[in-house]
Each structure stands twice: as structure tokens, then as C-alpha cells.
Homo-oligomer: A and B are copies of this chain.
Amino acid sequence: MSDEFSRIAKYFAPLAGEEGRGLTDDAAVLAPPPGRELVLTVDQMLEDVHFLPGDAPGLIARKLLRRNLSDLAAMGATPLGYLLTIALPDTVGEDWLAEFSAGLAHDQKIFNIKLFGGDSSSSRGKISLSATLLGHVAPGAALSRNGARAGDGIWVTGTIGDAALGLQARLGRLDDPSGFLTARSLLPEPRVGLALAGVVSAAIDVSDGLVQDLGHMCKGAGLSAVIRAGLVPASPAAVVCGESVLETRLTGGDDYELLLAIPPGQGDALRAACGDLPVTKIGMFQAGEGVHVLSDAGTMLRFTQPGWRHF
């Protein structure tokens, strides 16, 4: 393994924007976009917690960026760039770094972001990664997970539960003949770029699991939520898995869809803001506390745990 400085120069300096100063200085310098507020988030990806040792390095890199981009999406922010930390044990070689940095480069283009800086270290344990993402919003326009009001509809983008089923497939516990579920687990699609300001009362991304994340929204607003399990949108590949995976779908994490509180009468505005991305109403916020999941017959469903707790 080359030393820290030469691997930064070889694999990461080519990814840096001018703010990163060639990654040769002690810090990055950023002129903030005039008249905008900055949105800042950080997420880790840890071996055996957030990814499996055999996962492709390029996909690990892209998921690292996308998990953070999803947090920016939930705040209604436009992505700007990121800082990166990597800690690699000696057993990780140049091939891994080459694929990892190529994955970063790929998603930098897709999401129009640049590397601002970072820190590279050896690790005496497992692979440990983090990214700090910066985005921007109009002053006061950042969304919050805590703004839901009684009577707001509960909506989700896309389909829910694919990533949790994909993880089961990757662990050999489920068939995924099309590979669709596996792909959703390895490479989520952050919902950046939607013009949600003024349309939603509250927003969160579904990272810990639908029920748990909805619980965060309820707690933040002092409300309860009632959703119908049968309304929670499933992909065709998830439908094939049958009714037995319902709990996995509703409590598994890693979807990175948006969960939204939408005032009555705003459904069309939401659809217009989301364009080709399907949105589905699955329930409603009301007085009280907790998340209540109803079957089609109207009975209350109970799950053993509300959300994902790592592998």
C-alpha cells in the first residue's frame, strides 16, 4: 500500500473542486453561494454495519454519497460538495481504492458535486468511511421533519421495502431473480432536486425504516400517525415476495425514499413537484402519539421492532 500522501494525490486530488486546493492544504475554502443558507450533514459507512466485506468498492462509495444526498433531499437542499474520511486496514489494497474513487467520480458527475477535502488514515480494525455533505437552500426554506400538522396526509415517494428485501437476498435468505431488490439495497436513489418548499409541512428520508422514521415525525410534531399497510407502495419485485415480507418492508431501512406530511388539498402540487417520480398517500397525521399500522381489514398490526438496527 502506498503512503497516505501518494494515495491522496493519486486517487482523491483528481476529484477535488477548486475549494479543495488540490488537497494539499490543511483545509478547504468555500465562498458560500450568495444569499443562501448552508445545509450540512454527515453519515458513516462501516464495514459489517452498513456494508458487507465483499461489497463492490465503487458501490460502497456511491452509497456513501447517496445516503448523505438523501439527507440533503429531505431538507430540500441543492447539493454542493463533500468532505470524506477513509480508514483502511493494511489488507485493503490499491485495487480497492481505485474502484472506490471511481465510484465517487461517477456519482460526483450525476449529482454535480465536488470533493472539498478529507482525511485518510490506516485502521487497526475494519474499514470505516464517512462523508460530510454540504448543500444550500433559500433562507428559511429548509424543510424539517418536525412540522407535520394534524390532518396532513402521509405520503411517500417511490416504493418502500425494496432495500430491506435486497439485503435479505444478498444474505442468501430470499430469491431475487431480477436483481432489482439487490440493486435497490446497494445503490439507492436519493430524491434530490424536488421543489418541495411550500408544498410539504414536513419531510424525512426513510433510512431507518418506514415505521421508525414516521415515529420520528410524530414525536417531532407531537402527533400520531395512522397508515394502511395495503397502501404502502411495493415494487413488482417486492409484490412477488408475498405478504410474509410485510414487516421487513415496513421496518427495514435503507429505502432513501422521502416520507412527507402534505396538507389537505396539496396532493396535486406534490405530484407536480415530483414529476415522473410516483408519490402515494398512505395515511394521515392526527392527535395522539405513536405510529399505527392498519391491515386492509382495519385491524392493528404489531411489529417486533420498528426499524433497522444494523446487520
For A126, list chain B residues within 8 Å (CB): 123-125
Q: Is A46 an interface residue when CB atoms closer than 8 A count as contact?
A: yes
Assembly stoichiometry (copies): 2
Whether A28 pairs with B44 at a CB distance below 8 angstroms is no
Whether A38 pairs with B44 at a CB distance below 8 angstroms is no
For A135, list chain B residues within 8 Å (CB): 27
Q: Which residue of B lies closest to A215 (CB)?
A: B5
Binds B, one of A142-150, A153-161, A270-278: A142-150
Whether A132 pairs with B310 at a CB distance below 8 angstroms is no
Whether A29 pairs with B38 at a CB distance below 8 angstroms is yes
How many residues in A have their beta carbons less than 8 Å from beta carbons of B? 60
Binds B, one of A67-75, A173-181, A229-237, A287-295: A67-75
Q: Is A13 an interface residue when CB atoms closer than 8 A count as contact?
A: no
Q: Is A7 an interface residue when CB atoms closer than 8 A count as contact?
A: no
Known contacts A49-B123, A124-B46; A37/B31 CB under 8 A:
yes
Binds B, one of A92-100, A113-121, A239-247: A113-121
- Which 5 interchain pairs have the tightest Cβ spacing? A125-B125, A27-B41, A48-B124, A125-B126, A32-B32
